[in-house]
């Protein structure tokens, strides 16, 4: 019986992921962002930098602090596949495919614990074909957000099993994948943990420890982004097209909106679907009714409703009250919550009303299976995104270039010279975060190194640190070079915020490891007295 449910889930997964069975890039809104970041990530790894912060070829070869603000999990997973032999584009597609299957398998396990074989299939099917999940992957191709979304089922299973390890791992993975999803999900996780405390202190303590440890572990990603956000141009995400008030969905769109591959627009006629699926809404209502005495079912329902509420204009007062939320730009991103919370409700429905639930879920699958593919594939190759081309062509990794240091006012074109003005000499050593030169000047002068200034970059001349600052308008690293022949050493080092984030992450890992055995793991929710019919 169990093998049969796994076989059905595998088949459903193949249908949902078939658009990834390609060696080309899926044509989506953010399609070219991730190949650029992966090439930059690989350039760091090739120099032994496994947790990079600096992308050396962006900014027309002057570098940008991408991974100060962007969690690196998607690039890390793709890089592992790449190092095993796949080219960059294929590596990304394989990483996305594995993430999707992982999430579906976790949802199958959770659904099986709630509603047996029928619940396992219903939960997996509801997740694989949740409309927002397909939009994220095939329409937006928001690979980092999709990666984070794929770890939310692990968090749900962690709550179900009162597992510190699962909760900490799931939340940490979300934090290492996408800051926006962490900002959406972590307060919800904290609220769920507190709700569990009210009913069961022991299980609630387990949940609180896991939720807190997960946030601490992921501090390496979110803490520097939070502290240093004023040093980049992140405020662009709150202006113009990206103003949050332009992108609320309507309740009618959430119930049903036609499939499309366009961009979010103000008003109710977006060429992009925001539905969570009318049939899945019906299944969720059935699930809540079938398990109305089970706290867990009501928690999943509440999470779904919160996601819907935060996606519509009625929540505008909260968006105005919390400016940090506005960096999400798109309120409909909260639809990730019902996309993950409705599948367990489908499992509750299948436990009580097996045939009816199966019929409704399969009808939903038939409706949305045709959308499990991109509109097209892009005819680009790795050579189009070689490191040298990224630098010389000034290729961006975001539409707004919001990770460019704030001191850069004027665009600085690529230059093969390491210094401005050019100086006679030679490069002794090069890595993405360390440059060493032997240069000479006949007179003392102010020189600019062809690297964008950002906190962490420091300069030494002949082994002695010298003041370095951003050059006016260009934002290049500027310092005074004495007359004579000198060895100039420029290095990108951790700031106090980045060093502290690493310490907090290590403390979180240690806490999760030490406390995971000290809390009883509940093998099933105590409030589930009903049995499958």
Q: What does pTM read for this prediction?
A: 0.94
* Residues 105, 195 within the same domain: yes
Mean pLDDT along residues 469-480 = 96
Residue 118, preceding bond cis, omega within 30 degrees? no
- HSE-up of 311 (CA within 13 Å, CB side)? 28
* Residues 269, 298 within the same domain: yes
Q: Please give the pLDDT value at position 514.
A: 86
Q: Is 79 helix (H, G, I), strand (E, B) or coil?
A: helix
> Residue 260 above 90 pLDDT?
yes
Task: Please choose, from the candidates 444, 447, 458, 442, the residue with its C-alpha nearest in 3D space to the C-alpha of residue 494.
Answer: 458
Mean pLDDT along residues 213-235 = 97
Q: Is 258 helix (H, G, I), strand (E, B) or coil?
A: coil
Q: Please give the pLDDT value at position 515.
A: 81
Please report, for residues 407, 493, 516, the alpha-carbon distance to residue 404 in angstroms, rounded to integers and kept in the order given.
8, 18, 41
Q: Please give the pLDDT value at position 517.
A: 59
> Residue 3 above 90 pLDDT?
no
Span 438-468, pLDDT tens digits: 999 999 999 999 999 999 999 999 999 999 9
Mean pLDDT along residues 287-313 = 97
Q: Is 456 helix (H, G, I), strand (E, B) or coil?
A: coil
**Domain extent at residue 477:** 419-493
What b-and-e string marks burial along 155-187, b requiring 16 or more CB atoms within 10 Å of the CB?
A: bbbbbbbbbbbbbbbbbbbbbbbbbbbbbbbbe
Q: What is the CATH number of the domain that holds 474?
A: 2.60.40
Strand 445-452, strand 476-481: pairing: antiparallel
Domain assignment of residue 37, yes or no: yes
Q: d(Cα 358, Cα 346) in Å, to the nearest integer?
A: 9
Look at the block and give the residue holding tokens 């044509």: 27
Using a pLDDT cut of 70, give the percent of the chain over it. Answer: 96
Task: Please choose, from the candidates 405, 404, 69, the residue with its C-alpha nearest in 3D space to the C-alpha of residue 224.
Answer: 69
Do residues 307 and 340 touch, judged by C-beta distance below 8 A? no
Question: Crossing angle, helix 88-128 and helix 2-17, to 10 degrees?
Answer: 130
Show the tokens assigned to 486. 């000198």
* Residues 128, 270 within the same domain: yes
Domain assignment of residue 398, yes or no: no
What H or E segment, with its residue span, contains residue 429? Answer: strand 425-431
Domain assignment of residue 386, yes or no: no
* Residues 296, 183 within the same domain: yes
Burial of residue 476 (number of CB atoms within 10 Å: 0-12, 13-18, 19+):
buried
Show the tokens assigned to 288. 């809540």
Q: d(Cα 532, Cα 120) in Å, to the nearest integer?
A: 13
Domain assignment of residue 146, yes or no: yes
Domain assignment of residue 325, yes or no: yes
* Residues 191, 67 within the same domain: yes
Q: Please give the pLDDT value at position 527.
A: 43
* Residues 222, 322 within the same domain: yes
Mean pLDDT along residues 129-151 = 98
* Residues 359, 466 within the same domain: no
Task: Please choose, from the candidates 9, 5, 8, the residue with its C-alpha nearest in 3D space to the C-alpha of residue 105.
Answer: 9
* Residues 167, 311 within the same domain: yes
Cross-strand bridge partners of residue 466: 459
Q: Please give the pLDDT value at position 399.
A: 86
Q: How confident is the model at residue 2 (pLDDT cuts 50, 70, 90)?
A: confident
* Residues 339, 460 within the same domain: no
Domain assignment of residue 530, yes or no: no
Average model confidence (pLDDT) for the chain? 94
Residues 6+ away with beta carbon under 8 Å from 278: 255, 256
* Residues 279, 365 within the same domain: yes
Do residues 162 and 519 touch, judged by C-beta distance below 8 A? yes
Residues 6+ away with beta carbon under 8 Å from 342: 126, 130, 276, 277, 280, 281, 283, 284, 300, 304
Q: d(Cα 287, Cα 285) in Å, to the nearest integer?
A: 5
Using a pLDDT cut of 90, give the percent of the chain over it. Answer: 92
Q: d(Cα 20, Cα 175) in Å, to the nearest integer?
A: 24
Q: Please give the pLDDT value at position 132.
A: 98
> Residue 525 above 60 pLDDT?
no
Domain assignment of residue 258, yes or no: yes
Mean pLDDT along residues 386-390 = 95
Do residues 352 and 291 touch, judged by C-beta distance below 8 A? yes
Do residues 42 and 79 touch, judged by C-beta distance below 8 A? yes
Q: d(Cα 494, Cα 150) in Å, to the nearest integer?
A: 30
Looking at the 3D structure of the chain, how many domains does it have?
2
Which long-range contacts link 165-170 to residues 24+ away (Cβ below 8 Å)? 165/210, 165/512, 165/516, 166/210, 167/206, 167/207, 167/209, 167/210, 167/211, 167/213, 167/214, 168/209, 168/210, 168/213, 168/214, 168/217, 168/508, 168/512, 168/516, 169/214, 169/512, 170/214
* Residues 369, 463 within the same domain: no
* Residues 509, 483 within the same domain: no
Q: What is the DSSP letter of 72?
A: -
Q: Please give the pLDDT value at position 524.
A: 41
Do residues 152 and 304 touch, judged by C-beta distance below 8 A? no
Angle at 452 between CA 88 and CA 408, to 5 degrees: 110
What H or E segment, with its residue span, contains residue 479? Answer: strand 476-481
Domain assignment of residue 340, yes or no: yes
Span 19-35, pLDDT tens digits: 999 999 999 999 999 99
């Amino acid at each position: 019986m169990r093998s049969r449910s796994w076989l059905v889930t595998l088949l459903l997964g193949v249908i949902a992921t078939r658009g990834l069975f390609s060696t080309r890039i899926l044509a989506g809104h953010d399609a070219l962002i991730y190949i650029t970041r992966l090439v930059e990530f690989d350039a760091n790894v090739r120099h032994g930098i496994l947790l990079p912060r600096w992308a050396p070829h962006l900014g027309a070869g002057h570098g940008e602090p991408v991974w100060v603000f962007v969690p690196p999990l998607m690039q890390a997973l793709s890089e592992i596949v790449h190092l095993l032999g796949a080219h960059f584009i294929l590596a990304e597609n394989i990483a996305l495919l594995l993430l999707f299957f992982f999430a579906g398998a976790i949802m199958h396990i959770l659904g099986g614990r709630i509603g047996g074989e029928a619940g396992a299939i219903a939960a997996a099917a509801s997740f694989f074909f949740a409309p927002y999940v397909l939009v994220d992957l095939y329409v937006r191709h928001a690979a980092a957000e999709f990666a984070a979304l794929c770890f939310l089922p692990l968090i749900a299973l962690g709550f179900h099993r009162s597992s510190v390890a699962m909760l900490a791992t799931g939340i940490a993975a979300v934090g290492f994948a996408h800051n926006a999803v962490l900002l959406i999900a972590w307060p919800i996780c904290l609220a769920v943990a507190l709700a569990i405390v009210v009913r069961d202190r022991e299980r609630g303590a387990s949940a609180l420890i896991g939720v807190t440890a997960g946030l601490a572990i992921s501090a390496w990603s979110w803490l520097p982004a939070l502290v240093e956000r004023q040093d980049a141009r992140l405020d662009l995400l709150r202006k113009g097209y990206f103003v949050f008030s332009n992108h609320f969905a309507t309740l009618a769109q959430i119930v049903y909106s036609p499939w499309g591959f366009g961009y979010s627009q103000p008003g109710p006629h977006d060429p992009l679907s925001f539905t969570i699926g009318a049939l899945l809404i019906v299944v969720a209502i059935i699930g809540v009714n079938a398990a109305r005495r089970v706290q867990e079912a009501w928690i999943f329902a509440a999470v779904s409703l919160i996601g819907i509420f935060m996606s519509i204009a009625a929540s505008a007062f909260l968006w105005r009250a919390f400016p940090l939320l506005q960096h999400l730009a798109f309120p409909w991103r909260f639809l990730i919550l019902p996309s993950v919370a409705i599948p367990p409700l489908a499992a509750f429905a299948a436990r009580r009303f097996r045939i009816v639930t199966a019929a409704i879920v399969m009808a939903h699958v038939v409706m949305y299976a045709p959308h499990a593919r991109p509109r097209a594939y892009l005819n680009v190759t790795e050579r189009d995104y070689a490191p040298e081309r990224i630098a010389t062509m000034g290729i961006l990794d975001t539409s707004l270039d919001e990770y460019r240091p704030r001191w850069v006012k004027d665009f600085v074109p690529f230059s093969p010279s390491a210094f401005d003005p050019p100086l006679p000499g030679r490069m002794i050593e090069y890595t993405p975060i360390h440059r060493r030169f032997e240069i000479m000047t006949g007179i003392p002068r102010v020189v600019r190194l062809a690297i964008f200034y950002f906190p962490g970059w420091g300069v030494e001349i002949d082994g002695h640190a010298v003041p370095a600052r951003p050059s006016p308008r260009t934002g290049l690293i500027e310092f005074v070079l004495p007359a004579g022949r000198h060895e100039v050493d420029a290095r990108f080092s951790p700031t106090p915020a980045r060093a502290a984030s690493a310490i907090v992450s290590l403390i979180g890992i240690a806490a999760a490891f030490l406390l995971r055995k000290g809390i009883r793991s509940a093998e099933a929710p105590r409030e589930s007295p009903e049995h499958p019919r």
